[in-house]
Structure 1
Amino acid sequence: MATLLTAERGLPAELGATVTEDGVHFAVYSENADEVQLCLFDEFGTRETERLRLPGRDGNVRFGFAPGMAAGARYGFRARGPFDPARGHRFDASKLLVDPYARRLDRAFVWRPELAAPPSRGLDSGPFVPRALALPPETGARPLPFAPPGFTYELLVRGFSQSRPDLPVRLRGTVAALCEAPLLDHLTRLGVETVELMPLAASLDERHLAALGLTNAWGYNPIALMAPDPRLAPGGFPEIRAAVEALHHRGIRVLLDVVLNHSGESDEFGPTIAFRGLDNALYYRHAREDAGRLVNDTGTGNTFAADRAPVVRLFRDTLRRWVEETGLDGFRYDLGTVLGREDTGFSRKAPFFAMVAEDAVLKDRIHVAEPWDIGPGGYQVGNFPPPFLEWQDRFRDDVRRFWRGDAGMVGALATRLAGSADLFATDGRRPSAGVNFLAAHDGFTLADLVAYAGKHNEANGENNRDGHNDNHSWNNGAEGETGDPAILEARARDVRALLATLFVARGNPMLTAGDELGRTQRGNNNAYAQDNEITWIDWPRADRELVAFVGRLAGLRRTHPALARDAFLTGEPVTAGAARDAVWRREDGEEMEVRDWQEDGRRVLALDLTAPDGDGRLARALVYLNAGREEVLARLPETKTGFVLELRSDRPDAEPVPLASDHPLVVPARAVLIVVET
């Protein structure tokens, strides 16, 4: 029986498919299409049964109502209009288009040449494009009350659980695995406060990967921003909501890495699957001198026009849907500088930022920007407006260089340990505006950082041309795998020293899943195309001692006031007449002077911290960092109560031990010691 599609009782204010008791409303936005058609499919999604013009128009919204249509109907769109690349138009009715507001897809995206075939070839892409399912919204999900993210754990869902032997096979590599006790116990044991999930939106492999026999493991190539990828969450939002609730039950917040800077439709030669087919001129930014050429500030072939009202609305609705249907606590924004780009460049007053700050659902969530892209003026660390927090690559690079042994790094290290006021001490921000990390998904793993002096990305099929070249890494005497016990011990020692540095610094520490287990990617610092053992955590070979060490670090940071305080270190008294919040000391216990900071060969730094403990008293902790190759003797400062050596990175299993203040403290080479006042 033919489907009736009418403009009467239409709902143009609600884009996408809106399921009601008496039918389904459809609405799609396009400024330049001549006509938009609704394509309906049979219950299996194998056969296109009808193609109906959306009869209503309200401004640039095309809409229609299908009375009697039930939830679960499979659908897509086709758009008719000019194919005029010189003017930015690429309409092609032979291409089936996914609804940008789709909430679930019936299958995953798979690259096919038909998706990118030009109109002149007349190749119908319909058989190869996922169908959207018209479903009602899920309700009842609630985020946790707002708080800074604290210890954040960046997690690739598939890589995290794919090789976990104590999980049911059907759950491995999926979001549902995060509901399982073994993984939840691991996160609890580490002391994780926030999990940051790498992208879950339905994405498409880059076209060059198919010829190489590779697939995109990371998911930073989205097509349907509001629909979970069926490979990661085949049950859609309910599965994600269950995982979020399981993490919330453990007191762990959940962020989602979202890609709002580009789509998987790539450059002018890429596929037509959604935005390009609905209105290429609207959704993407085009070169001023050539409307047929897409701006490539992202390095992926296209860049969303994030300052245009319809695009901002799409992004707002995307974020709100994820929060309202899964209970997410916030987001991390890939290449977030794009979201502040206007025709004149980056602006803190860009429409997207204003929307987030004002929206009733979003304004109280956690928002973390990756504050750079590859476009002009793309590096904006420290320049994002509240409420945005920012990834901190300056922390990463300065800490790496200090421990590598670069000259003259103690001043830069002190700035990072103190909370990076040079970047974040504006607009009333605190150190928690910065997310400190040593390694992230993009780059070396922590273990590889101290085992490879150079990248080894040959498995990516690009002759090792891809990935960063300046990694500030070192190999401790051998490149890559080795059986030399001395080299292995040196590497393990360096990893623990780096981790201790991360957890004693002001700001939110972030660790990438597996770095606490000794995970290696065999020197690959751009493993996006390795959906295999390179990115899957090898749980059976996990370094359990390192896991315990990270747990101790996280616990000490969380509970000791001098380490947990969210305030920049200034060297000023913490309260009137009290000790200063920070004193930087030499090995002899005296305060650092200008000439000490300027000493290129200095490899040792001591930090004397004081902070209120909440009960009217002061708490004190000392941190000693020795990046040199020889141990040093340090004189402890005066104390009325005594000191305890609480934790030492050279001996991670050592129990706390009291210290005699009249005896020098031995600070081993390549180590961090944390001393607390009793």
Structure 2
Amino acid sequence: MVLFMSVCFPSPYVLGAQLHPSGCRFTLYAPDQDCVHLLLWHQGHQPQRLAMREYKRGYWTRDVADVVAGQEYSFEVLQDGQTWYLADPYAQAVTGPLRYQPPYSPSQSTLLARCQVVDHESFDWQGVSSPQRAIQDTVIFETHVKGLTQQHPDVAPVQQGRYLGLVSPTMLAFYQQHQINCLQLLPITSCLPEPHLLSQQKTNYWGYNPYVWMAPDPRYAEKSAVNELKTAIRELHRHDIEVILDVVFNHTAEGGEGGPILHYKAFDHAMYLHDGQQLRNYTGCGNTLDIRHPAALKQVLDTLCMWVTDYHVDGFRFDLAATQGRNGDTFNPQNAFFLAIAQDPILSKVKLIAEPWDIGPDGYQLGQFPINWAECNDKIRDTTRSLWRGDPGILQDFATRLMGSRDVFSAAHWPDHLPINYVTYHDGFTLQDVVSYAKRHNHANGENNRDGHGDNRSANYGVEGPTNNPDIIEVRRRQKRNMMASILFSLGTPHILMADVLGHSQQGNNNAYCQDNPISWLNWQTQDHDWSNWLATMIARRNAIVPRFIDALSGTQRHCNQITWRHPNGDPIHDHQWSKLQALSCQITLGAHHPDAGQSILIAINSSDTAHDLRLPPNHQWRIVCDTATGETTVAPLASCQRLAAKSFLVCIDGDWL
């Protein structure tokens, strides 16, 4: 008997550059083109120019022998009478310079469009697996790969501002010390600055102008972005830290009319929503992805699966996620994108977080995403800032936010559909600036201070910006404790800006998207260690206390517990009194069906400028675990009648079960 060994070739419908035993198959979906050439670049030589074959309508393919990982390539097409070099939308690495000189031209595309063949099979994961932490046990820390370590004096210079800097010994020790169990990275896929930024010699520092979705940004690597990012994720997992990627599928760097031709505008113009001949702009960036288009849906799903299977990421935060639910001018939570993810054996198991809006019609969709999604809860941000700033009539709404915003996120769908509770995000003031500036100061952005959000709900407490006045400094510290405690001890998943762990200020800039400089880079020399240590202690206590109450209030168990609202003096709160409240207490006691039956948590809030007597029911052994009035971290007994300080947030547990 003669045995024949077959060579397994990738399907021509698997897009991108697919290595196989004898070479590489390049496949591109370009239904708008009548002729496509593959260019293979060799250092110091003219490119090898190979005609591609249209395998089926729109699918172009070419097999090339002896191609190995690292080979640079791009595509060539004739568009509007000009020869353009275009990037592979499915490329998993890019090598071209991620900037150009506006206006973008065919001659500049020669370098920019270069991609690289990648071999994912060669990386050694060393048997390290993901922590797979439940969403209610997660505290998300949002950070920028470069900004986190660019100025850290104890990170090796070769690693500063890079993927490997995330897992330097210094940073791993910092995560452990500060109870950090999940990093949410601002976009790390390759991106391009917008033309107006390039004209000003600026860049899109945040990374929200995507170029090639599957390719990690090479600027954060010394040699190989692919291997160095994988190494960072592997080592974070080894230390029980999850990684969530902020992804941008609402638009691309091709922008609107007149924007650069990078790929889709020439390959498949139907990728974008159109209004006649014009591109719709529901993102503020010139174009909007049309998720109803089969190729767009396939590209997004394939990209997500790649990040999970090849990089082992633990979840995604979707920028302007309402765009993914668009049916033109309306939002549909049952559209093909959401259904595809819900049934996918890979994507249905990772964390999915929506920024639940865009700027188009029907764009604000908080609480309307499918039940397997968490959502960024801007309502608690606004209410928390307003409450502690002293705005009247806020406490009633804050009480709703404290209890998990169940007017928006039904506890029947917890813990899968939880609010992501935050008081600061990358877009906006840092927490230090929320208590230091009454107005934005975005002059460095070059837009005459017109950019950025105008409704910051901030206060400076007497001086705009930094001060040496000890009284103002102490008020600011207390207000920071109040706002952070409000997020940590509300029901939901806390989201914390890494800059806020250090007490970093952006000098009043609330839209530092183009500030790739010390405005955005964390200043480790000025870290407020007292604040950081207090915050780490509160995070640890939140992790020990809050998840059990979320579990008890989730699903069918949610009605089996006791929740009691009182005035500070112990009297019950009547319906007509809520709108004028400035202080209250809330007690949650776990019901008989819960494993921790009988355990109670008490939260007392005083948003006024006057202290109150706090009277509690007898026969309890309350212990203080958080008191923002003092900043003390010692667990201490609570007297049966104690003063509830002005502008303070108090958390107690009944017993010694912490």
The question of 1:669 aligning with 2:646 is answered yes
Query: Which residue matches 1:103?
Result: 92
Partner of 2:32: 32
| Residue 567 of structure 1: how far off its partner (Å) | 5.1
With over 3 angstroms needed to count, the CA separation of the structure-2 counterparts of 1:93 and 1:76, relative to structure 1, is: farther
Confirm whether residue 644 of structure 1 aligns to residue 623 of structure 2: yes
Name the TM-score, length of structure 1 as normaliser.
0.90
- Secondary structure of 1:589's counterpart equals coil
Q: Matches of residues 220-299 of structure 1 in structure 2 within 5 Å?
A: 220-233=208-221, 234-279=223-268, 281-287=269-275, 290-291=276-277, 293-299=278-284
Quote the sequence identity (%): 33
Alpha carbons of 1:616 and 1:564: their partners in 2 closer, same or farther (altered >3 Å)? Answer: closer
CA distance in 2, matches of 1:472, 1:607: 25
2:82 is equivalent to residue 134 of structure 1: no
CA RMSD in angstroms comes to 2.2
Any conservation in 2 of the 1:419–1:569 contact (CA below 8 Å)? no
Find the aligned partners of 2:472 and 2:600 in 1 and give their Cα distance: 35
Shift of the 650–563 alpha-carbon distance from structure 1 to 2, 3 Å rule, reads: farther
Deviations 1:59-89 (A, max 9, x none): 32111111232332110012235x3xxxxxx
Say which of 83, 86, 107 aligns to 1:94: 83
Matching residue of 2:572: 591
Equivalent residues of 1:424, 1:431 under 8 A apart: no
1:582 corresponds in structure 2 to 563
Task: Give 3-state SS (helix, strand or coil) of 2:600's partner.
Answer: strand
Match of 2:132 in 1: 145
> What is the distance in 2 between the residues matched to 1:295 and 1:67?
42
Native 8 Å contact 1:215 1:530 kept in 2: yes
Q: In structure 2, what is the Cα distance between the partners aligned to 1:439 and 1:345?
A: 29
Q: Which amino acid aligns with 2:652?
A: V
Change (3 A) 1:427 1:309: farther
Q: Distance in 1 between matches of 2:193 and 2:355?
A: 22
Q: Which residue of 1 aligns with 2:107?
A: 124
For residues 16 and 639 of structure 2, what CA distance do their matches in structure 1 show? 70
Distance 1:94 1:77 in 2: 10
In 2, Cα distance between equivalents of 1:434 and 1:563? 16
What CA distance in whole angstroms lies between the structure 1 residues aligned with 2:315 and 2:189? 15
Q: Deviations over 1:354-397 (max 9, x none)?
A: 11111121111111010000000100000001311110001111
In the alignment, is residue 188 of structure 1 matched against residue 171 of structure 2?
Answer: no
CA contact (8 A) 1:432 1:507 kept: no
- Superposition deviation, residue 170 in structure 1: 0.9
In the alignment, which of 61, 65, 78 is matched to residue 63 of structure 2? Answer: 65
Q: Which amino acid aligns with 1:589?
A: G
How high is the TM-score relative to the length of structure 2?
0.93
C-alpha distance in structure 1 between counterparts of 2:408 and 2:388, whole Å: 22
Aligned to 2:3: none
Q: Say if 1:14 and 1:493 are closer, same or farther in 2 by CA, change over 3 A.
A: same
Could you tell me how far 1:573 is from its partner in structure 2?
8.8
**How far apart, CA to CA, are the structure 2 residues paired with 1:237 and 1:103?**
8
Contact 1:418 1:569 in 2 (8 A): no
Gaps of 5+ in 1: 1-7, 84-91, 118-122
> Residues 533-583 of structure 1: CA distance to partner in whole angstroms, max 9, x if unpaired?
01001111101111111111111111126875345499x9964xxxx5321
- Determine the C-alpha separation between the residues in 1 that align with 2:574 and 2:174: 44
> What amino acid does structure 1 have at the position aligned with 2:38?
L
**3-state DSSP of counterpart to 1:35:** coil
Query: Offset at 1:621?
Result: 1.9
Q: Which amino acid aligns with 2:83?
A: S
- Does 2:221 align with 1:210? no
For 1:412 and 1:164, the matched residues in 2 are separated by 40
Q: Distance in 1 between matches of 2:209 and 2:333?
A: 26
1:210 corresponds to which letter in structure 2? Answer: L
TM-superposed deviation, 1:495? 0.3
Aligned residue in 2 for 1:435 = 420
Distance 1:356 1:547 in 2: 38
Q: Judge conservation of contact 2:78–2:84 (CA < 8 Å) in 1.
A: no
Please name the residue that 1:631 is paired with.
611
| Residues paired across the two proteins, number | 640
Conserved in 2, the CA contact under 8 Å of 1:112 and 1:128? no
- 1:127 Cα offset (Å): 3.7
Q: Deviations over 1:395-437 (max 9, x none)?
A: 1111111111111111100100011111111773448521000
Which region of structure 1 is more displaced relative to structure 2, 183-192 or 359-368?
A: 183-192
C-alpha spacing 1:48/1:626, structure 2 compared with 1 (3 Å): farther
Partner of 1:14: 14
The 3 A distance-change label for structure 1 pair 624 and 48 is farther
Contact 2:329–2:360, Cα closer than 8 Å, also in 1: no
Structure 2 stretches lacking a partner, 5+ long: 1-7
State the alpha-carbon separation in 1 of the partners of residues 445 and 325 from structure 2.
32
Distance 1:30 1:284 in 2: 14
* Residue 79 of structure 1, aligned match among 57, 77, 81: 77
Once the 2 structures are TM-superposed, how far is the Cα of residue 612 of structure 1 from its aligned partner? 5.7
**Matching residue of 1:23:** 23
CA distance in 2, matches of 1:461, 1:128: 29
Q: Secondary structure at the match of 1:166?
A: coil
| Alpha-carbon distance, 1:647 to partner | 2.2
- Cα pair distance change 1:425/1:22, threshold 3 Å: same
CA 1:74–1:398 in structure 2 vs 1: closer, same or farther (change >3 Å)? same
Structure 1 position 603 matched with structure 2 position 582:
yes
Change (3 A) 1:50 1:567: same
Alpha-carbon offset, residue 459 of structure 1: 0.4
Q: Alignment partner of 2:513: what SS?
A: helix
